Structure 1
Amino acid sequence: MSKKRRTFTTDFKKQVVALYENGKGRQDIVSEYELTASALDRWITQFQQSGSFKEKDNRSPEEQELMELRKRNKQLEMEVDILKQAALIMGRK
């Protein structure tokens, strides 16, 4: 039987990180709130890096640039397709 994936509010994450930062043991927090150690570690890292738990706020500059380039590439591919279709239509006239 698999556990149902739980979601946590930003306020809850901040409170848990604050407990850790104020000296409460990592394992104590994990046990008391039935968290995974990896989730707690991720929240601590995210909050220390950017003050945010949103993935987009915690991307490296390289990850952000890659996403922007992929988006731009997709846009340019669409423009090329439109121009090809226009060229075909204009060629028929």
Structure 2
Amino acid sequence: MEKRARRSFSKEFKEQVVKLYLAGKPRNEIIKEYTLTPSAFDKWIRQHKETGSFKEKDNRTPEQEELIRLRKQNKQLAMENDILKQAALTKGRK
């Protein structure tokens, strides 16, 4: 099976698709007419219902937010640790 190239859709397009669905157009017809994947379509409907936004950052769970925050903090601490190691090496040479 050939893999499709990843497509991106504008916010306006996603809103139009959601409006068609909310107006009563069947899910399968929308997916077929616009050659969408069912998972993308379902995701847009869910995002519209939950937050009204299609931006990933607006649809993160608290756990996803915490993971992002902890990864940033870990990166910052690793950089600080490297700086301290370099300072200790420089001081030891003098």
Query: Matches of 2:56 and 2:93 in 1, distance apart?
Result: 49
Correspondence for 1:49: 50
* Count of aligned positions: 93
Correspondence for 1:39: 40
Correspondence for 1:18: 19
- Superposed, 1:1-93 pairs within 5 Å as 1-93=2-94
Over aligned residues, Cα RMSD in angstroms?
A: 1.2
Residue 3 of structure 1 aligns to a residue in which SS? Answer: coil
Using the aligned pairs only, state the percent identity.
Answer: 61
Residue 28 of structure 1 aligns to a residue in which SS? Answer: helix
Query: Matches of 1:19 and 1:85 in 2, distance apart?
Result: 60
TM-score (norm. length: structure 2)? 0.90
Query: Matches of 1:62 and 1:3 in 2, distance apart?
Result: 31
Query: Matches of 2:25 and 2:38 in 1, distance apart?
Result: 14
Runs of 4 or more consecutive aligned structure 1 residues displaced over 4 Å after TM superposition = none
TM-score (norm. length: structure 1)? 0.91
In structure 1, runs of 5+ residues without a counterpart are none
